[in-house]
Amino acid sequence: MRHLLEVDDLSTTELGDILDLGGAATVPRSLDGLGMALLFEKPSARTRNSMEMAVVQLGGHPLTIRPDEVGLDTRETVEDVTRTLCCYHAAIGARVFEHSKLERMTAVSSVPVVNMLSDEAHPLQALADLLTMANEFGGVAGLAGRTVAYIGDANNVARSLSLGAGMLGMSVRIATPVGFEFSEADIARIIATGTDFAASNDPFEAVAGASVVYTDVWTSMGQEDEAAQRRELFAGFTVNDELMNAAASDAIFLHCLPAHRGEEVSDSVLEGAQSRVWAQAENRMHAARGALVWLMEQR
């Protein structure tokens, strides 16, 4: 039984296979007549819509479950909820706070478990990011040797992006404010994929010559009390026209959304000619579909 909790749960070949499936014009109806439970502890726009539609496109029935309907570790244990859902569904997706809940799910699940976001990882977002880049730069093979620059908080999105990009032969540059860097363990994990990786506190150093400039919100869900302080600490890390001009001439801009215009990205960049954020958002559905087809093939 295979699960998808983080990008490096896959081999490089498997990652490429999923991206190929995500980009395919036709795919097998791998969930025909089957259900998939989509369990949300955190609200979502892109994740719910992309996952529900991916399941429908594969012939399945998505069932979205609100946190109050199951109450992980309050109404029932994670393990009991997981075992129950396995009675009805061919796969389980979960969008949670603590990554450990996903690990507990996989320990007892008899069906594939997909991480739809946790505090440590966002693999489905990384798959969509890589698919967007591949579409832009001549396929998966065209990504090798290119550089992706991430500007902002070294969060779950940055971690999954760095792992996936490195696995496909991309160089990864990340610029964060002091105190918001990857941990030593994170860096070791990224480098273990063979990634050409560099970290700094200078956005212009990170984006120099980059083919992809990426950012995310400065304050994620669950960090709202830190918002004012983070706006001060992240001053100078806005992706604006000046910063984009320091990247490669054919560079594209990516953002996992939602965007706080005027904070992590200027409106002119988000709406500019280099922005691919809406194609990237659409690719959440295509990448999820590819991942689900692949997981069903591994059963």
pLDDT tens for 20-42 read 999 999 999 999 999 999 999 99
Domain with CATH 3.40.50.1370 in the chain: 7-122+284-297, 125-280
CATH of 7-122+284-297, one of 3.40.50.1370, 3.40.50.450, 1.10.10.10, 3.10.450.50: 3.40.50.1370
Strands 212-215 and 35-40: unpaired
- Is 61 an active-site residue? no
Select which of 46, 86, 89, 125 is catalytic: 125
Give the percent of the chain with pLDDT over 70: 99
Question: What's the pLDDT score for residue 130?
Answer: 98
Closest CA to 111 of 129, 133, 93: 93
- Is 125 an active-site residue? yes
Closest CA to 8 of 162, 213, 156, 238: 162
pLDDT tens for 201-236 read 999 999 999 999 999 999 876 667 788 899 999 999
Select which of 230, 284, 286, 289 is catalytic: 284
* Domain 125-280 is found in CATH 3.40.50.1370: yes
117 by Cβ neighbours in 10 Å (0-12 / 13-18 / 19+) ranks as buried
The answer to whether 57 and 30 are in contact (CB under 8 A) is: no
Question: What's the pLDDT score for residue 221?
Answer: 66
- Is 95 an active-site residue? yes
pLDDT band of 264, cuts 50, 70, 90: very high
Mean pLDDT estimate for the chain:
96
Q: C-alpha angle 181/280/200, rounded to 5°?
A: 20
Q: Rounded to two decimals, what is the model's pTM?
A: 0.97
Question: What's the pLDDT score for residue 224?
Answer: 75
pLDDT tens for 235-251 read 999 999 999 999 999 99
Select which of 3, 46, 95, 104 is catalytic: 95
The answer to whether 94 and 65 are in contact (CB under 8 A) is: no
